[in-house]
Amino acid sequence: MTSDDDAGTRGDLEGVAVRPPEHLRPDHDLSSFRNGLHASLDEWLQHRALASEGQSARTYVVCDHAAPFPVVGYYAISMAVVQRGALPTAKLRRGLPEQVPLLLIGRLAVDRRFQRIGLGTALLVDALRRCLAAAEIAGARAVIAHAIDERAAEFYRRHGFVRSPLGDRVMLLPLETARALVEK
């Protein structure tokens, strides 16, 4: 998988016929997308993502190579702010103001027919690259992700995120860990 701009994943999904991640557009075919576990993630993509685009979130999609190029995976990134005291470790809190900027991966899902071939991992790495690029420009201390259930929390944990006191299944990855992960 290669990406549509410099922030994206390159070559992380050899042999899987998906197009590079791209910004969600009105002409993307979202109609067949089903993650198979949480209908709310399908509904948000199909009915709400476009309205949020660029206003409160940015959604990136990957499409199947086979025409008519249906969307088979997506994630959404937005900004978040938390109170410094809510960060889990003294190291994370050090030197920060009361209001700490973070980047949020609010949603990430893969169509059920494309799961367990590495696409979710490739999307996560792509999302982290974009978070790092955003933090280069504006500054952010960490990336957080809302895991929708315990299985999703385990998915994030395997990729280096830790549980945080910011909310139920709010997983956190310090920026320096994200950098190490994408440079691996």
Q: Which residues bind ligand COA (CB under 6 A)?
A: 35, 37-38, 41, 107-110, 115-121, 147-148, 152, 155, 158
Answer yes or no: are the C-beta atoms of 78 and 106 closer than 8 Å: yes
Element (DSSP H or E) covering residue 75: strand 71-83
User: Alpha-carbon distance 40 to 63, whole Å?
Assistant: 20
Answer yes or no: are the C-beta atoms of 144 and 105 closer than 8 Å: yes
**Smallest distance, Å, CB 114 to ligand COA?**
6
DSSP 3-state of 126: helix
What's the token pair of residue 154? 């385990």
- Nearer to ligand COA among residue 94 and residue 162 (C-beta): 162
- Nearer to ligand COA among residue 72 and residue 132 (C-beta): 72
Is 75 catalytic? The answer is: no
Answer yes or no: are the C-beta atoms of 70 and 32 closer than 8 Å: yes
Nearest CA to 178 out of 104, 110, 114, 115 is that of 104
- Nearer to ligand COA among residue 114 and residue 175 (C-beta): 114
**Smallest distance, Å, CB 15 to ligand COA?**
9
Residue carrying the six token digits 């973070």: 102
- Nearer to ligand COA among residue 94 and residue 113 (C-beta): 113
**Smallest distance, Å, CB 93 to ligand COA?**
26
**Smallest distance, Å, CB 91 to ligand COA?**
26
Q: Determine the distance from the C-alpha atom of residue 79 to the mean position of all C-alpha atoms in its chain, rounded to a whole number.
A: 12
Instruction: Point out the residues that are catalytic.
Output: 156
